[in-house]
Amino acid sequence: MKESTIEAYLRDRVKAQGGIAYKWVSPGNVGVPDRLIVFPGGTVYFRELKAPGKKPTPLQVRQLEKLKALGFDVGVIDSKQGVDEFMRGVMQV
């Protein structure tokens, strides 16, 4: 399964729950997570998307760690099951 397939699935699931999964590109900040996900009420998540079994690069890990240190909810998703687990957690908040 391609990363783009997982990314589209995430985008559609987030939209179905009233949120937006922005594709995040930050010039000059290589390695930022793929998606900035926002929901009504001000909840924000950062997620790096990967093909099944693939891991984030060391630079991506550092960017995730920086965001986590600022108090944001960050993570990596590498499957449709991972998207479903993320969404279950979001809906319980």
Predicted TM-score (pTM) of the model is 0.93
- Determine the Cα–Cα distance for residues 25 and 85; give it in Å rounded to an integer: 25
Domain that holds residue 27: 3-92
Residue 84 sits in a domain whose CATH number is 3.40.1350.10
pLDDT, position 93: 65
φ/ψ of residue 77, rounded to 5: -125, 130
What domain count does the chain have? 1
pLDDT of 92: 82
Residues 43-87 pLDDT 10s: 999 999 999 999 999 999 999 999 999 999 999 999 999 999 999
Q: Is 13 left (phi over 0), alpha (psi -120 to 50) or beta?
A: alpha
- Concatenating the DSSP letter of every residue in the chain gives --HHHHHHHHHHHHHHTT-EEEE---TT-TT--SEEEEETTTEEEEEEE--TT----HHHHHHHHHHHHTT-EEEEE-SHHHHHHHHHHHHH-
